[in-house]
């Protein structure tokens, strides 16, 4: 990759002459410091970046909350009496068709919101896009709160999905762009923790209100969603813009100022200009590979492989049976547990998920992203097959509790492996110039499979439909196995790599299984040098 020709790109973008030799020199220094930075050093130097990232990622709590809310409402007596009808088993409930419609409504809105985000955020910046989405969220909650029929609920869920789609990608993208390599995995996987926090809050609220028989049993959970937008909005107003976005816009001085707002003052070893030079250097390397930043460019040249990997990594979350967790309360009841017991199990499930996500941070340090994803899928496949085999036994209290217990174990392993590590992988694999659009495409494929899940899972569990109950484990276990095989051959290890190094590895078509053992020297004469380490034994 010839870096000398990049000087013209820099001059064109910045509209002022730039000494590319100095940029490369500073980029080399910044890259070396990134590699030598420990986790504790990163926390000491970037505490503000950690804080801003946590704040913006907290918007995902709303999505985790809402997903569990609607899925659990299907097992909520007061909700079913208001919006459902009398079913063949003598209880009130929504038909499988309406359950599928409400479950998919938000996903449809998210698809639209994601595509809009890929365009709007790259044009106006992450902060302005986030603020607009928070205002929209506040407005759309009114529709859900005052809905008098299931049709209005459907419209409200679709509209609510639009800003939630923005949060899905902006949170992980912002986290990956404001933090150093040493902290990247932890702050991107924190997004999964926000999901779990939202799920845990929703489960606790639903459990507390499950004995109510009036309309406030479901209106209060809807109203609680107004708690999040205002404080997050205030925080976003004060937050700095992503320095990577500013570099892509040719605003290097603004990028330096943003970086200074993200880091501690008075650190003698830190040079903001060197770090921004590393960003400029990476941006110019990527321009040599692909000049455009449109959605179509994600499917050209070396970026096609990166788009494929990012998309299928996120799709794997939905193809490994995780959709059962959103319907866990219904699943527990269909497995034979009482209403109160099913809500207790759901509450325990999300508490276990919280612990699992914290454990994933430890595993990321010692195992890495790729093994955590691949072996995590293998474990989930085994657990789902066990659920399927349990369902073959005659129905009894023992089999009901065994099925519920296995779903708790599944949640623990999902939230300590595949669930959180996915956010790290999809934010690290794309090029910086196409990151937001690649993440949008990946999340939208995830949402497409969420729609499929939203259609088939209610039919799997509904007594008036397929009524598979625990036998659904066979179906999802088979899909999890397929995902595991694919990931073994296609998912690379980005641990410890700068974005420029990832670019070089993909450009040279290095096998996914050899990413971790490959040495990269970005500043070797005029081109990046890539060599394979020989391992004994």
Q: How many CB atoms lie within 10 A of CB 351?
A: 17
User: In this predicted model, what pLDDT tens digit does every residue of 435-466 receive, in sequence order?
Assistant: 999 999 999 999 899 888 878 887 887 767 78
Integer CA distances (angstroms), 530 to 410, 502, 505, 513, 522, in order = 40, 11, 8, 15, 8
- How open is the CA angle 56-61-62, to the nearest 5 degrees? 100
> Lowest-confidence range among 54-63, 243-252, 266-275, 378-387?
266-275
Provide the b/e sequence for 37-63 (b: ≥16 CB within 10 Å). beeebbbebbebbbebbbbbbbbbbbb
Could you tell me if residue 405 is left (phi over 0), alpha (psi between -120 and 50 degrees) or otherwise beta?
alpha
pLDDT of residue 450: 86
User: In this predicted model, what pLDDT tens digit does every residue of 381-404 receive, in sequence order?
Assistant: 999 999 899 888 887 778 777 877
Give which of 132, 142, 143, 129 is closest to 226, Cα–Cα.
142
Q: Give the pLDDT band of residue 534 (cuts 50, 70, 90).
A: very low
Q: Give the pLDDT band of residue 9 (cuts 50, 70, 90).
A: very low
pLDDT of residue 469: 77
What would the mean pLDDT of 186-213 be, rounded to a whole number? 87
Q: Give the pLDDT band of residue 63 (cuts 50, 70, 90).
A: confident
pLDDT of residue 381: 97
More confident residue, 290 or 413: 413
* Residue 49 pLDDT exceeds 50: yes
How remote is the C-alpha of 149 from its chain's centroid? 32
* Residue 151 pLDDT exceeds 70: yes
Handedness of CA 272, 273, 277, 283 (dihedral sign): positive
What would the mean pLDDT of 279-285 be, rounded to a whole number? 90
Q: Give the pLDDT band of residue 533 (cuts 50, 70, 90).
A: low
What would the mean pLDDT of 300-327 be, rounded to a whole number? 90
pLDDT of residue 8: 44
Domains and CATH numbers, the chain: 18-262+272-528 (1.20.1250.20)
Instruction: Name the percent of the chain lying above pLDDT 70.
Output: 90
pLDDT of residue 17: 45
* Residue 54 pLDDT exceeds 50: yes
> Lowest-confidence range among 81-90, 423-432, 472-481, 490-499?
81-90
* Residue 530 pLDDT exceeds 60: no
Q: How many CB atoms lie within 10 A of CB 319?
A: 22
Q: Give the pLDDT band of residue 314 (cuts 50, 70, 90).
A: very high
Mean pLDDT across the chain: 87
Token pair recorded at residue 456? 């088939």
pTM score, two decimals? Answer: 0.84
Cα–Cα distance for residue pair 218/221, rounded to 1 Å = 6
pLDDT of residue 532: 57
Give the CB-side neighbour count of residue 372, counting CA atoms within 13 A.
31
Q: Give the pLDDT band of residue 331 (cuts 50, 70, 90).
A: low
pLDDT of residue 535: 40
Q: What is the DSSP string of 471-526?
A: GHHHHHHHHHHHHHHHHHHH----TT--HHHHHHHHHTT--GGGTTTEEEETTSTT
User: In this predicted model, what pLDDT tens digit does every residue of 414-440 receive, in sequence order?
Assistant: 999 999 999 999 999 999 999 999 999
> Lowest-confidence range among 74-83, 265-274, 310-319?
74-83
């Amino acid at each position: 990759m010839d870096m000398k020709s990049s000087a013209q790109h820099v001059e064109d973008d910045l509209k002022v002459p730039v000494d590319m030799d100095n940029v490369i020199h500073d980029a080399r220094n910044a890259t070396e410091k990134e590699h030598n930075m420990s986790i504790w050093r990163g926390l000491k130097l970037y505490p503000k970046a950690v804080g801003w990232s946590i704040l913006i990622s907290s918007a995902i709590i709303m999505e985790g909350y809402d997903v569990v809310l609607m899925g659990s409402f299907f097992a909520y007596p007061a909700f079913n009496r208001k919006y459902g009808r009398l079913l063949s088993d003598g209880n009130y409930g929504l038909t499988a068709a309406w359950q599928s419609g409400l479950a998919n409504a938000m996903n449809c809105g998210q698809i639209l919101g994601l595509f809009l985000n890929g365009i709007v955020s790259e044009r106006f910046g992450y902060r302005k896009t986030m603020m607009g989405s928070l205002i929209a969220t506040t407005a759309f909650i009114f529709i859900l709160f005052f809905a008098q029929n299931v049709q209005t609920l459907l419209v409200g869920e679709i509209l609510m999905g639009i800003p939630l789609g923005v949060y899905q990608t902006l949170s992980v993208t912002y986290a990956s762009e404001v933090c150093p390599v040493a902290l990247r995995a932890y702050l991107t996987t924190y997004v999964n923790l926000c999901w779990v926090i939202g799920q845990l809050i929703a489960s606790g609220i639903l459990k507390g209100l499950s004995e109510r028989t009036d309309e406030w049993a479901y209106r209060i959970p809807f109203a609680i969603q107004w708690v999040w937008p205002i404080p997050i909005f205030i925080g976003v107003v004060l937050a700095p813009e992503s320095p990577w976005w500013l570099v892509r816009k040719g605003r290097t001085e603004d990028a330096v100022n943003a970086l200074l707002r993200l880091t501690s003052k008075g650190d003698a070893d830190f040079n903001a200009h060197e770090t921004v030079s590393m960003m400029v250097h990476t941006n110019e390397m990527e321009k040599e590979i692909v000049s455009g930043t449109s959605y179509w460019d994600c499917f050209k040249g070396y970026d096609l492989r990166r788009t494929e990997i990012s998309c299928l990594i996120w799709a794997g979350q939905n193809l490994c049976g995780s959709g059962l967790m959103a319907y866990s309360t219904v699943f527990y009841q269909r497995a034979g547990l009482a209403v109160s017991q099913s809500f207790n199990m759901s509450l325990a499930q999300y508490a276990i998920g919280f612990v699992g996500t914290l454990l994933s941070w430890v595993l990321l340090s010692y195992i890495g992203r790729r093994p955590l994803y691949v072996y995590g899928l293998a474990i989930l496949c085994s657990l789902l097959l066990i659920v399927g085999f349990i369902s073959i036994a005659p129905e009894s209290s023992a089999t009901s509790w065994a099925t519920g217990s296995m779903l708790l174990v599944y949640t623990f392993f999902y939230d300590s492996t595949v669930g959180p590590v996915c956010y790290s992988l999809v934010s690290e694999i794309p090029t910086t110039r196409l990151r937001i659009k690649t993440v949008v495409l990946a999340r939208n494929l995830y949402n497409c499979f969420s729609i499929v899940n939203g259609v088939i899972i209610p039919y799997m569990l509904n007594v008036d439909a397929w009524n598979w109950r625990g036998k659904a484990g066979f179906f999802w276990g088979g899909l999890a196995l397929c995902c595991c095989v694919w990931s073994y051959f296609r998912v690379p290890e980005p641990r410890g790599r700068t974005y420029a190094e990832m670019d070089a590895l993909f450009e040279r078509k290095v096998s996914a299984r050899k990413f971790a053992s490959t040495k990269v020297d970005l500043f070797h004469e005029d081109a990046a040098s890539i060599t394979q380490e020989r391992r004994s034994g």
